Amino acid sequence: MLTQLGFSKYAYDWRHEHLASLPEEIKIARQSNISITAVWMWIDKQTDSPGKLSEDNEKLLTILRETGLKTQLWVGFNNNFFEYESDKEKIEKGVEMIQYLRTVTKPLSIRIGLYNHGDWFGEPDNQLKILDKINDPSLGLIYNFHHAHKQVDRFPELLQKMMPWLWTVNINGMKKDGPQILPVGDGDEELGMIKNIKASGFKGSIGILGHVDTKDVKEVLQKNLDGLKMLTEKL
């Protein structure tokens, strides 16, 4: 499907039931000359802490180690990880967890990107405080339109702040009041946001979503590609 649509790379999102087939997916991707450039990881206070990862996250790292997949790890946090803490304590907890992940992934030649997924950790200003405190140029930021509806008006300012760390921007159709997932080109805010990205000189990756459970993913991706082409002609 990805080959038919013209893709040569993708980021891998998963849930527990998908891990069993990940080694086969990596094998098929390699045979098809398609790169898995990123793999998602979710950190939850109930199961993850510095020095200990959930069984699923440990299994993910084992698969990456055994297959030798050198990729990026896009790390998001459940808001429960930072509950009941002061801002200073939240930053310290974020720093400690990211440093631990950096330690366990460095031997695998995997780089870590902070992934905005809403709540406290989904605010770029907070992610930047964590990155500035760690001060490791191997770390980066992944910015997702679909988790940034409350940031639309601030996007030009946030983009300039993120630029030194920004690896990827995943775009989405954007209306301030939602819905969260909307095809590119079906919103009324994304063209202006994309113009800001173009004007910034950003040289990283642009992603689109196949993130709709109720529709065929091929149709979802094609719809986003069509919308992206339409908007590109307006730049």
Q: How does pLDDT run across 83-137, given as a tens digit for each residue? A: 999 999 999 999 999 999 999 999 999 999 999 999 999 999 999 999 999 999 9
Query: How far from 175 is each of 152, 154, 189, CA to CA, in Å?
Result: 9, 14, 6
Is the Cβ–Cβ distance between 161 and 127 less than 8 Å?
no
Identify the pLDDT of residue 27.
98
For 173-196, what is the mean pLDDT? 96
Biggest CA-to-CA distance, the chain: 49
Identify the pLDDT of residue 155.
98
Identify the pLDDT of residue 211.
87
For 153-171, what is the mean pLDDT? 98
For 6-28, what is the mean pLDDT? 97
pTM of the model: 0.96
Identify the pLDDT of residue 213.
86
Q: To 10 degrees, the CA torsion angle through 164, 170, 172, 178?
A: -70
Identify the pLDDT of residue 179.
95
Q: What is the set of domains in the chain, with CATH numbers?
A: 2-232 (3.20.20.150)
The string of pLDDT tens digits covering residues 200-231 is: 999 999 999 998 889 999 999 999 999 999 99
Q: Please tell me whether residue 11 adopts helix, strand or coil conformation.
A: strand
**Rounded to whole angstroms, how far apart are CA atoms 130 and 25?**
33
